Structure 1
Amino acid sequence: MRARTVLPAALAAALITLTGCGPGSGSDDAAEGASASNASSPAQPPASSDTGDSRATGDPDPQALQFTATTVDGKPFDAKTLVGKPTVLWFWAPWCPKCKAQASETAKVAADYAGKANVVGVAGLDKNAAMKDFVADTGTSAFPHLSDEQGEVWKRFKVTEQSRYVILDKDGKTVYEGVLPAGQGLAEKLAGLTG
């Protein structure tokens, strides 16, 4: 009898969570942590908890930055250029209010750590025109944004939802993956890697 009550409640929570960052959802960053802990793909376990996952997975992964892409401005991008410095990959979608709320802090961190660390936006879940508009509207054009319409970079880093940060050390090893509401805490996480 208990299984009959738990399953519908779990499905309802999953549906509410999945629509939490949809167009016009009006959700705010204060609720982001709560909803992120419930969001996951049915085929895969969640990538991390709502506060992120400080991964220290052993050996550096030199393959992590072995990919090419195209920026939202149509320029070729080779991730090998990121090797040697800590890197923030910010996965966002143009229609996501949580992503828009993270834009200002992400741009500030990119400016503050210019020359010491890389910050790269990875746009997905929409068309390139919407991605370009997001960059212009949020004032985040000072750092590159990849147009990942096919989700190839998202798949490479096992990102299953927008509004996520993946932070790599200078060797390309993932040291953090998770949600940072309004980008808060991003500077501190990067400071620990740039020492």
Structure 2
Amino acid sequence: MGCIILFRMKGHTPSPQFDAGRPVTGALEVVREVLFSPRAFYEDFEAGGPLRGAVVFVWLVSLVAAVLSMALAVVLDVGGGIDVYPLLVRAGEAAAFVVLSPLALGVVAAVYMVPVRVFVGKEARFRHLYRMLASAYSVMVLGWVPVLQSFAIVYGMVVLMALALRSVYRVPGLMALVVSVISLIPISAGAVWLILEAARLVSG
């Protein structure tokens, strides 16, 4: 199994890997492949690469999503007059989102570890799952669009992760999908709890 993860058959072209040395073009290549050719991208995905590139990639995607979200907020506020204080609050939230996104993805990867090891096997490693999730995080470039936020999260964490698990660990597609759905349940429950707690604190 380990050999399958680290080495690919001859004649296969490896999926584009994010290069921190050329962050913009590297990120564009990965996002384009994940969004438009996800099956081909994950067929030759290298799960055993470095974590540093994955972290930088998540930061970049979060930065793009945050900037676009702020731009949308400004455009929507122009009609009724721009209020500085709410914009500053949103800017602070956006900055926190960008800074903390790699850490949050690490928590998600840790949650995935449990069902993946139970159903797939002990070959699963945190590094593998983090890199899979980082590439699936490409869909968050659409997360700034309100009507697409939920779709982007579910598509990335279920569909794209199922493709990644199937390819990297060579498991049946149905099992990979079940593992992705099972992993999403505690993550969704935790997110709902955090939102409710935050609302309770803000409301006093």
Q: Which has the higher contact order (CA 8 A, sep 6+)?
A: 1
Instruction: Provide TM-score, normalisation by structure 1.
Output: 0.27
Indicate the structure with greater helix content. Answer: 2
Indicate the structure with greater strand content. Answer: 1
Instruction: Provide TM-score, normalisation by structure 2.
Output: 0.26
Larger Rg: 2
